[in-house]
Amino acid sequence: MPIDSYPYELPPLPYAYNALEPYIDAETMRYHHGKHYQAYIDNLNAALAGYPKLQKLSLEQLLARPVYFLPQKDYAAILHNAGGVYNHRFFFSHLAPADAEGHKPAGLLSARIAGKFGSFEKFQEAFTKLALDVFGSGWACLALTSANRLQLYHLANQETTLPDHAQPVLLFDVWEHAYYLKYKNARAEYIKNLWNVALFRQSKVRKVLAEP
Protein backbone atom coordinates (compact mmCIF):
# COMPACT_ATOMS: atom_id res chain seq x y z
CA MET A 1 0.00 0.00 0.00
CA PRO A 2 1.75 3.17 -1.12
CA ILE A 3 1.95 5.89 1.49
CA ASP A 4 4.88 7.64 -0.15
CA SER A 5 4.01 7.46 -3.82
CA TYR A 6 1.12 8.28 -6.12
CA PRO A 7 -1.70 7.29 -5.79
CA TYR A 8 -1.44 7.91 -2.07
CA GLU A 9 -3.45 5.84 0.38
CA LEU A 10 -4.38 6.35 3.99
CA PRO A 11 -1.90 4.48 6.21
CA PRO A 12 -3.69 2.71 9.06
CA LEU A 13 -2.94 4.00 12.55
CA PRO A 14 -0.43 1.85 14.45
CA TYR A 15 -2.76 2.07 17.48
CA ALA A 16 -6.51 2.08 18.13
CA TYR A 17 -8.59 5.24 17.85
CA ASN A 18 -9.15 5.19 21.61
CA ALA A 19 -5.51 4.38 22.48
CA LEU A 20 -4.61 8.00 23.26
CA GLU A 21 -7.46 8.51 25.73
CA PRO A 22 -7.92 10.53 27.88
CA TYR A 23 -5.55 13.00 26.23
CA ILE A 24 -6.93 12.69 22.71
CA ASP A 25 -10.40 11.18 22.47
CA ALA A 26 -11.45 8.45 20.04
CA GLU A 27 -14.00 10.66 18.29
CA THR A 28 -11.37 13.31 17.48
CA MET A 29 -8.97 10.62 16.24
CA ARG A 30 -11.65 9.04 14.07
CA TYR A 31 -12.43 12.36 12.36
CA HIS A 32 -8.85 13.60 12.24
CA HIS A 33 -7.43 10.42 10.73
CA GLY A 34 -10.43 9.05 8.86
CA LYS A 35 -11.85 12.30 7.46
CA HIS A 36 -9.32 15.15 7.55
CA TYR A 37 -6.18 13.14 6.71
CA GLN A 38 -8.15 11.11 4.15
CA ALA A 39 -9.31 14.35 2.52
CA TYR A 40 -5.72 15.58 2.08
CA ILE A 41 -4.87 12.25 0.45
CA ASP A 42 -7.89 12.30 -1.88
CA ASN A 43 -7.32 15.94 -2.81
CA LEU A 44 -3.60 15.38 -3.46
CA ASN A 45 -4.36 12.44 -5.75
CA ALA A 46 -6.91 14.59 -7.60
CA ALA A 47 -4.48 17.54 -7.87
CA LEU A 48 -1.73 15.28 -9.28
CA ALA A 49 -4.02 13.39 -11.66
CA GLY A 50 -2.96 15.39 -14.71
CA TYR A 51 0.77 15.45 -13.97
CA PRO A 52 2.51 12.09 -14.63
CA LYS A 53 5.96 13.56 -14.03
CA LEU A 54 5.02 14.90 -10.60
CA GLN A 55 3.37 11.56 -9.76
CA LYS A 56 6.79 9.91 -9.98
CA LEU A 57 8.27 12.14 -7.28
CA SER A 58 8.16 11.17 -3.62
CA LEU A 59 6.27 13.43 -1.26
CA GLU A 60 9.59 14.76 0.03
CA GLN A 61 10.83 15.50 -3.49
CA LEU A 62 7.58 17.20 -4.38
CA LEU A 63 7.64 19.45 -1.33
CA ALA A 64 11.34 20.28 -1.43
CA ARG A 65 11.04 21.57 -4.99
CA PRO A 66 10.77 25.32 -5.40
CA VAL A 67 7.19 26.41 -5.93
CA TYR A 68 7.87 27.66 -9.46
CA PHE A 69 8.53 24.09 -10.61
CA LEU A 70 4.90 23.24 -9.98
CA PRO A 71 2.21 23.95 -12.60
CA GLN A 72 0.86 27.42 -11.94
CA LYS A 73 -2.76 26.39 -12.31
CA ASP A 74 -2.63 23.72 -9.61
CA TYR A 75 0.36 24.67 -7.50
CA ALA A 76 -1.67 25.79 -4.47
CA ALA A 77 -3.74 22.58 -4.44
CA ILE A 78 -0.67 20.39 -4.88
CA LEU A 79 1.40 22.20 -2.27
CA HIS A 80 -1.36 22.48 0.34
CA ASN A 81 -2.48 18.87 0.05
CA ALA A 82 1.01 17.39 -0.24
CA GLY A 83 1.93 19.37 2.87
CA GLY A 84 -1.20 18.08 4.60
CA VAL A 85 -0.34 14.48 3.77
CA TYR A 86 3.30 14.89 4.83
CA ASN A 87 2.52 16.65 8.11
CA HIS A 88 -0.27 14.25 9.10
CA ARG A 89 1.80 11.20 8.21
CA PHE A 90 4.48 12.44 10.57
CA PHE A 91 2.01 13.52 13.26
CA PHE A 92 0.06 10.26 13.51
CA SER A 93 3.19 8.11 13.41
CA HIS A 94 4.69 10.15 16.25
CA LEU A 95 1.90 9.56 18.74
CA ALA A 96 1.59 6.59 21.08
CA PRO A 97 -0.38 5.59 24.18
CA ALA A 98 0.79 7.37 27.32
CA ASP A 99 2.23 4.18 28.83
CA ALA A 100 4.49 3.55 25.79
CA GLU A 101 8.20 4.38 25.71
CA GLY A 102 9.58 7.40 23.90
CA HIS A 103 7.65 10.40 25.20
CA LYS A 104 10.93 12.00 26.14
CA PRO A 105 13.93 12.31 23.82
CA ALA A 106 16.74 9.82 24.43
CA GLY A 107 20.44 9.51 23.62
CA LEU A 108 21.97 11.98 21.23
CA LEU A 109 18.69 13.79 20.62
CA SER A 110 18.20 14.32 24.34
CA ALA A 111 21.71 15.74 24.65
CA ARG A 112 21.24 18.03 21.65
CA ILE A 113 17.92 19.37 22.98
CA ALA A 114 19.46 20.03 26.38
CA GLY A 115 22.45 21.66 24.69
CA LYS A 116 20.28 24.05 22.71
CA PHE A 117 17.47 24.82 25.17
CA GLY A 118 19.12 24.22 28.55
CA SER A 119 16.99 21.24 29.53
CA PHE A 120 14.06 19.17 28.25
CA GLU A 121 11.73 21.18 30.51
CA LYS A 122 12.95 24.47 29.03
CA PHE A 123 12.51 23.06 25.53
CA GLN A 124 8.94 22.05 26.46
CA GLU A 125 8.27 25.61 27.63
CA ALA A 126 9.62 27.12 24.41
CA PHE A 127 7.79 24.63 22.20
CA THR A 128 4.52 25.06 24.11
CA LYS A 129 4.77 28.83 23.71
CA LEU A 130 5.43 28.40 19.99
CA ALA A 131 2.36 26.16 19.64
CA LEU A 132 0.19 28.62 21.58
CA ASP A 133 1.40 31.51 19.45
CA VAL A 134 0.39 29.91 16.13
CA PHE A 135 -2.29 32.26 14.85
CA GLY A 136 -5.14 30.46 13.11
CA SER A 137 -4.34 27.05 11.60
CA GLY A 138 -0.88 25.58 11.59
CA TRP A 139 1.80 23.52 13.27
CA ALA A 140 4.59 23.89 15.81
CA CYS A 141 7.70 22.02 14.78
CA LEU A 142 11.15 21.15 16.03
CA ALA A 143 13.29 20.17 13.07
CA LEU A 144 16.84 19.24 12.28
CA THR A 145 18.30 21.35 9.49
CA SER A 146 20.69 20.05 6.83
CA ALA A 147 23.41 21.93 8.72
CA ASN A 148 22.67 19.62 11.70
CA ARG A 149 21.06 22.28 13.85
CA LEU A 150 17.87 21.97 15.85
CA GLN A 151 15.48 24.74 14.94
CA LEU A 152 11.93 25.70 15.92
CA TYR A 153 9.48 26.36 13.11
CA HIS A 154 6.04 27.87 13.09
CA LEU A 155 4.31 26.38 10.05
CA ALA A 156 1.19 28.14 8.79
CA ASN A 157 -1.62 26.02 7.33
CA GLN A 158 0.14 23.05 5.64
CA GLU A 159 3.62 24.48 5.20
CA THR A 160 6.41 21.98 5.83
CA THR A 161 10.08 22.24 6.80
CA LEU A 162 11.12 20.59 3.53
CA PRO A 163 11.77 23.73 1.44
CA ASP A 164 14.34 24.50 4.17
CA HIS A 165 15.77 20.95 3.78
CA ALA A 166 14.97 20.32 7.45
CA GLN A 167 13.49 17.10 8.84
CA PRO A 168 10.81 17.29 11.53
CA VAL A 169 11.68 15.85 14.94
CA LEU A 170 8.51 16.88 16.78
CA LEU A 171 5.35 18.22 15.19
CA PHE A 172 2.20 19.43 17.00
CA ASP A 173 -0.98 19.89 14.99
CA VAL A 174 -2.71 23.01 16.31
CA TRP A 175 -5.45 23.21 13.69
CA GLU A 176 -8.81 23.37 15.48
CA HIS A 177 -9.79 20.03 13.90
CA ALA A 178 -7.06 18.39 16.03
CA TYR A 179 -8.71 19.30 19.34
CA TYR A 180 -12.01 21.15 19.02
CA LEU A 181 -14.39 18.21 19.58
CA LYS A 182 -12.95 17.61 23.06
CA TYR A 183 -11.23 20.81 24.06
CA LYS A 184 -13.36 23.42 22.27
CA ASN A 185 -11.35 26.68 22.40
CA ALA A 186 -8.93 25.45 25.11
CA ARG A 187 -5.87 25.06 22.89
CA ALA A 188 -3.50 25.41 25.88
CA GLU A 189 -5.07 22.40 27.62
CA TYR A 190 -4.80 20.32 24.41
CA ILE A 191 -1.13 21.24 23.95
CA LYS A 192 -0.33 20.45 27.58
CA ASN A 193 -1.97 17.02 27.23
CA LEU A 194 -0.37 16.29 23.86
CA TRP A 195 3.01 15.94 25.58
CA ASN A 196 1.69 12.74 27.23
CA VAL A 197 1.27 10.99 23.89
CA ALA A 198 3.80 12.71 21.59
CA LEU A 199 6.66 10.45 20.55
CA PHE A 200 10.31 11.21 19.97
CA ARG A 201 12.04 8.92 17.47
CA GLN A 202 15.64 9.63 16.74
CA SER A 203 16.15 6.83 14.24
CA LYS A 204 15.30 9.00 11.25
CA VAL A 205 17.53 11.88 12.24
CA ARG A 206 20.32 9.84 13.85
CA LYS A 207 22.61 10.03 10.84
CA VAL A 208 22.43 13.81 10.70
CA LEU A 209 22.62 14.12 14.48
CA ALA A 210 25.81 12.10 14.56
CA GLU A 211 27.62 14.33 12.10
CA PRO A 212 30.29 16.54 13.62
Pairing of strands 167-173, 150-156: unpaired
Residues forming beta bridges with residue 139, ordered by sequence position: 155, 173
Exactly one of 40, 127, 153, 175 binds Mn ion (CB under 5 A); that residue is: 175
**Proportion of the chain in helix, strand, coil states, percent, rounded to 5:** 50, 10, 40
How many residues make contact with Mn ion (CB under 5 A)? 3
Region from 22-30, 60-68, 178-186, 204-212 binding Mn ion, contact rule CB under 5 A: 178-186
- Exactly one of 159, 173, 194, 197 binds Mn ion (CB under 5 A); that residue is 173
| Contact mark string toward Mn ion, 117..156, x via CB under 5 A | ----------------------------------------
Distance (Å, whole) CA 195 – CA 10: 25
Q: Which is nearer to Mn ion, 159 or 173 (CB)?
A: 173
| Residue range at the interface with Mn ion (CB under 5 A); choices 13-21, 140-148, 159-167, 174-182 | 174-182
By the 8 A CB rule, do 88 and 185 touch? no
Provide, rounded to whole angstroms, the least separation between the CB of residue 204 and Mn ion.
20
| Interface residues toward Mn ion, by CB under 5 A | 173, 175, 178
